Amino acid sequence: MAKLYKKTCCKRDDVPKASGMNELLPAPEDLHSHYDLIIVGAGPSGLFCAINAMQKGKKILILEKKSSPGHKLLISGTGQCNITHHGHILDSLDHYGDHGRFLRPALLGFTNSDLIAFFKAKGLEMIREKGDKIFPETKRSRDVLNILIEQCQELGVVIKCNQAVNSITRNENGFLVGCIGGSYRSRLLVIATGGRSYPATGSCGDGYSFASVLGHRIAEIGPALTPLLITNYPFSDLAGLSFPDMKISLYRHAKIREHRGDILFTHEGLSGPGILDLSRYIRAGDILKLSFVPDDKRKALEEWLVDKARLEGAKSLLSVLADRPRFVPSSVPLYPRLIKRMLQISGIATDLKMAQLTREARSCLIDNLVGLSLVVSDLCGYNTAMVTRGGVETEEVYPKTMQSRLVKGLYLVGEVLDVDGDTGGYNLQAAFSTGMLAARSIKSNLLSS
């Protein structure tokens, strides 16, 4: 019978802990015995792959370096677990940067609706929140993790914790996986180690090394879904101001990207969904241009300022601009504190009268309002980044099975691949979908053995 997870009665605060033998299920006494499948990493993609690959008479082992599974899953969505996104699954493809097409078979093979139905069948309902984000009804990542662990236990999947993998070799019989506590053999292997973000959870990037040793190329990795640090940042004292649906242009010698989204001023730079989603493309030294006023309203803004100078020349420019209900040619809130700072950035005295505004000063102010240039000094690092950009080159992996094109019997799932999603549940959906796709291929392989 499915277990019900409700806010009022859910008391299962503890993830099952590893026993003295560092495992969640009894393991064979012979540490060198063969398994049908070994999965490196007990995150959502690895656990879900094991659950769906398991069949009677087969032996599946998950190796986890931490003392318990799912550390990164537990902190996802600030512990509330934004597990997926509402809407037609094909609409998700544009939310995975340049490699969304690679995920098409995985996402169509196991959709957001399928993911919601899976957990509902286990007693955990999902709810839709602002921005079409999907969360467990209990708003607890732990409840999602508990279901995955319980499924592994019921099916007989062996999870061995405190087993940091330090070597993987392959021969004609399969794979030999070496750990400090022993070595394990299997015919099939899944690398589900995640990326490098939040290394304290166990995601230190070792999966890239394993894949590289086995012959795969690794696309340049870096932090993604991360805030930015800005050179000579002018808005430190305005931290907390946010702007909805702002146009953000990215330049590196020339314009390379244009994006829209909500942005947030922080003490050291920029954040908010619009910045986080664009961060996969940003490098130190790049220039961002923020559009407080759309380019197509430039002429209207100039005419408006000229008209105000003629009619209200005795008023200060600051007071006229701060009269927001009358400031029509803008696209985002122009807070009085922001206007004052924009005048300072433009070299205009804050007590300047409208009649004193020169053509040159007016042009400089309009340029900054239409596209304020800010230089990126750096991206916040892996301790802050929600995901990692880069990873195993997708052209070396079969998109319909997640099996390596180079190494028979090797599968790569989740964040170790060169695919990363926007904020809003897209990365967890990709983890579950790629895990399921690999599981179906593995199950077919195991049946034929």
Angle at which helices 359-371 and 336-345 cross, to 10°: 120
CA distance 364 to 369: 9
Q: Are 429 and 421 in contact (CB under 8 A)?
A: yes
pTM for the complete prediction? Answer: 0.89
pLDDT 10s per residue in the chain (449 long)?
A: 444 444 433 333 333 333 333 444 444 444 457 999 999 999 999 999 999 999 999 999 999 999 999 999 999 989 999 999 999 999 999 999 988 899 999 999 999 999 999 999 999 999 999 999 999 999 999 999 999 999 999 999 999 999 999 999 998 889 999 998 789 999 999 999 999 999 989 889 999 999 999 999 999 999 999 999 999 999 999 999 999 999 999 999 999 999 999 999 999 999 999 999 999 999 999 999 999 999 999 998 999 999 999 999 999 999 888 875 455 566 677 888 999 999 999 999 999 999 999 999 999 999 999 999 999 999 999 999 999 999 999 999 999 999 999 999 999 999 999 999 999 999 999 999 999 999 999 999 887 76
> Does a structural domain hold residue 211?
yes
| pLDDT of the residue at 99 | 87
Structure confidence at residue 442 (pLDDT) = 97
Helix axes 44-53, 426-447, angle to 10 degrees: 30
Q: Do 281 and 350 fall within a single domain?
A: yes
Last residue of a domain, one of 362, 380, 398: 380
Which residues fall within 8 angstroms of residue 308, CB to CB, at 6 or more apart? 315, 320, 354
Q: Is 353 inside a domain boundary?
A: yes
Same-domain status, 214 and 234? no
Under 8 Å between Cβ of 435 and 414: yes
Residue 186 structural domain = 34-222+388-447
Q: Which residue has the tokens 């993987």?
A: 168
Single out the residue of 126, 130, 128, 108 nearest to residue 116, CA to CA.
Answer: 126
Same domain for 265 and 143? no
The verdict on residue 14 lying in a domain is no
pLDDT of residue 329: 62
Asked if residue 16 belongs to a domain, the reply is no
Task: Determine contact, residues 219/395, Cβ cutoff 8 Å.
Answer: no
Q: Which of 356, 380, 404 is the last residue of a domain?
A: 380
Which domain-ending residue is among 380, 398, 422? 380
| Number of folded domains that form the chain | 2
Same structural domain for residues 87 and 194? Answer: yes
Question: Residue 175: inside a domain, yes or no?
Answer: yes
My answer on whether 211 and 162 are in the same domain is: yes
